Amino acid sequence: MSDQQPVQLRVAMAQVDTRVGDLAGNADLVVRWAAEASAAGAQLVVFPEMTLTGYPPEDLALRESFARASEQSLVDLAGRLAADGLGALAVVVGYLAHTEGSGPAPVDEPPTDDDRPSDANPRRGAPRNAAALLHGGEVVARYYKRHLPNYGVFDEARYFVPGTDLPVVRLHGVDVALTICEDLWVEGGPCGVAGEAGVDLVVSPNASPYERAKDDLRLPLVRRRAAEARAAILYCNQVGGQDELVFDGDSMAVSPTGELLARAPQFVEHLLTVDLRLDPSAVPERREGRVGPMTVTRHVVSDEPVPPYEPRPASIAEPLSDCEEVWRALVLGLRDFIDKNGMPSVVLGLSGGIDSAVCAALAVDALGADRVHGVGLPSTWSSEHSLADAEDLARRTGLHYSVVPIAPMVDSFHGAAELTGVAAENLQARVRGTLLMGLSNQHGHLLLTTGNKSEVAVGYSTLYGDSAGGFAPIKDVPKTLVWELARWRNTHARGRGETEPIPQNSIDKPPSAELAPGQVDSDSLPSYDLLDAVITDYVDRDLGLAELLERGHDAEVVARVLRLVDAAEFKRRQSAPGTKISLKAFGRDRRLPITNRWRETLPTVREGAAQ
């Protein structure tokens, strides 16, 4: 192929927000964005991982009826695109496939007859995390994800059977290899096979959840895989919230030499187009059949290159600051949870403190002030400034605000049963929770719980009190970051000539649950700077006691924090979901047994061993 001239191809990545289980709605989304790609002059458009089903489908993937419906939706989509005049556009779309066979096959070997269903192995089909290339009303090629992540929030080995084939589709003289998400993270995986087989372009539909600074990892990763594949790479990532997860987009195109050609903005739906200029003569050999651990299949749509045209400049989105990135992740996660579940509005208790203030500001940014209802619930021990700060927040944000004093209700409980100490303090929180849940039921609001990661970690919340609610917007946000976000949000508003949403007094005053006279959090917890540092290392990084001490944490603080964290597991198991932003969030990301005798201790040095 040394006599071939460079060829051009205009490609697009449709960074879209899908909904799990909504096959019809997601198909509509594909058609709409494919039409935009076609109008932009693209010959190829790539959608995210499992676009038709939404990601992650979790145990829906095990339901054969859902998998069959997904397969049918794919075929119907191919015909619909052609009927709408989009048949000339190549569309790569993710879906849930259902194939014959059962049980995960080893990733270094093709399936054998032993993988077929039998009386001893009655599973009737194998679910696959799949992507297909659609063109001319037909499903031209199907690819089954090879590397199935099974760590952190991922459970793909539970659901899917890995693929063994690597389809390569020739489109306008360009050989395009299909991969999916985790395949890109594995050195020597499908990208390595593509490099040995000889391709010009690798497309990678993704559903890569957001966590802080993850965008810093993606570009170096894609560059490494481009070098391995010796081909350009299109990395198209999902955007939007799905229960605890939020996807930030950040789609990109990288040349075979690692040059960043285009990059999409984070946290918004976006069509990213880029004009590629590829040199087929740079690929010395194009192979099919068995290549390394996979079987390469080749499919031809068109050999004829696109006629030469004037390329358009591509866009490269500027990265967000850390606080803006986190804020936008939390806003999107909350908005999609409410809207995708068809909830009209939210309600939350406003104490005048920093946590409820930040949650309220997030809710207003996510839903608009008219869909947010705040309630002041003063008790005997509430300070005057607490109610004043809550009212100030309501004025600044424009949310609905009402006040319901709880002291008479608390007194009635005390008249029926004698409660003292912590039980009496927690009663106030439970009365608040009961009232808020009642208002939620009465008006159809979803109750937001306002606890942060530091409190959730150490169990600093009251079951069926301040922990009550359907969604926890800052559940994965450490207290120190809550303050940072509040300051950033006010600075951001000031820079735009807008009213700062969060009262300065809510930021400056010492945090308190106000369940007893003069109570502040520091009465029962280490300072939040020390607490959050230990939580980050113990929870997010899974470090043991010895490693924590080696990192310089105070021994007394470590012992105290670990004891609190370990004892609070039963509370966390009952807590509301909240948007994940950290390396490891409580919930699906960190799963420990409630009944658990293990406690961290310093390792015992055996007698005579080296010290």
In 16-125, which ranges are E strands?
44-46, 90-99
Sign of the Cα torsion 15, 21, 22, 27 reads: positive
CB distance 234 to 204 below 8 Å: yes
Phi, psi of 168 (to 5 degrees): -125, 125
Residue in 49, 156, 455, 514 annotated catalytic: 49
Catalytic site residue from 181, 191, 236, 359: 181
Residues 522, 512 contacting (CB under 8 angstroms): no
498 Cβ neighbours under 8 A, 6+ residues apart: none
| Residue that the structure tokens 């119907």 belong to | 76
Residue with tokens 């960190």: 590
Between β-strands 165-171 and 294-300, what pairing exists: parallel, antiparallel or unpaired?
Answer: parallel
- The reported pLDDT for the residue numbered 281 is 86
The alpha carbon of 131 is separated from its chain's Cα centroid by a whole number of angstroms, namely 20
Task: Note whether 580 and 246 are within 8 A (CB).
Answer: yes
Looking at residue 422, its pLDDT comes to 84
Do 234 and 201 touch, CB atoms closer than 8 A?
yes
pLDDT band at 1 (very low <50, low <70, confident <90, very high): very low
Measured over the CA atoms of residue 459, residue 460, residue 462 and residue 468, the dihedral's sign is negative
Strand partners, 432: none
Residue-by-residue DSSP string for 316-369: BPPPPPHHHHHHHHHHHHHHHHHHHTT--EEEEE--SSHHHHHHHHHHHHHH-G
User: Rounded to an integer, what distance in angstroms lies between the CA atom of residue 22 and that of residue 40?
Assistant: 27
Name residue 244's amino acid.
E
Predicted confidence (pLDDT) at residue 118 exceeds the cutoff of 80: no
Q: Mean pLDDT across the stretch 213-222?
A: 86
Task: Compute the Cα dihedral for 414, 418, 420, 423 and give only its sign.
Answer: negative
pLDDT for the residue numbered 496: 96
Say how far apart CA 570 and CA 568 lie, in whole Å: 6
Phi, psi of 247 (to 5 degrees): -110, 135
Catalytic, 145? Answer: yes
Look at residues 166, 146, 165 and name the one whose alpha carbon lies nearest to residue 157: 146
Of the candidates 112, 208, 190, the residue with the CA atom closest to the CA atom of residue 145: 190
Contact assessment for residue 467 and residue 449, using Cβ atoms and an 8 Å cutoff: yes
Phi/psi at 527 (5° precision) = -55, 145
Q: What pLDDT is stored for residue 610 in this prediction?
A: 38
Which has the minimum average pLDDT: 117-131, 169-183, 184-198, 565-579? 117-131
Instruction: State the pTM of this model.
Output: 0.91
What is the arithmetic mean of pLDDT over 225-237?
Answer: 96
Query: 97: how many CB neighbours lie within 10 A of its CB?
Result: 24
H helix or E strand, kind and range, residue 32:
helix 23-39
Confidence of residue 517 (pLDDT cuts 50, 70, 90): low
* pLDDT at res. 503: 95
pLDDT value, residue 151 = 82
For the stretch 261-312, pLDDT in tens is: 999 999 999 999 999 999 988 888 899 999 999 999 999 999 999 999 999 9
Tokens of 442: 């009465």
How far apart CA 86 and CA 94 sit, in angstroms, is: 18
Residue among 474, 475, 473, 483 nearest 509 (CA): 483
Active site residue 49: yes
For residue range 458-493, what is the model confidence (pLDDT) as tens digits? Answer: 998 888 888 899 999 999 999 999 999 999 999 999
Please give the DSSP secondary-structure letter assigned to residue 426: H
Residues 583-610 have pLDDT tens digits of: 999 888 888 888 888 888 876 544 443 3
Rg value, the chain, Cα: 27
According to the 3-state scheme, what is the secondary structure of 246-293?
A: EEEECCEEECCCCCEEEECCECCCEEEEEEEEECHHHCCCCCCEEECC
Q: So what's the pLDDT on residue 127? A: 92
3-state secondary structure (DSSP) of residue 447: strand
Residue 236 a catalytic site member:
no
Using the CB atoms, write b or e for 147-168: b if 16+ within 10 Å: bbbeeebbbbeebbbbbbbbbb
Structure tokens at 603: 């390792």
- Residue 124's CB is within 10 A of a number of other CB atoms, namely 10
Single out the catalytic residue among 145, 453, 475, 479: 145
Phi (first) and psi of residue 170, to 5 degrees: -85, 120
Q: Which tokens hold the place of 251?
A: 């789609």
- The tens digit of pLDDT for each residue in 183-201 reads 999 999 999 999 999 999 9
Helix (H/G/I), strand (E/B), else coil: 69: helix
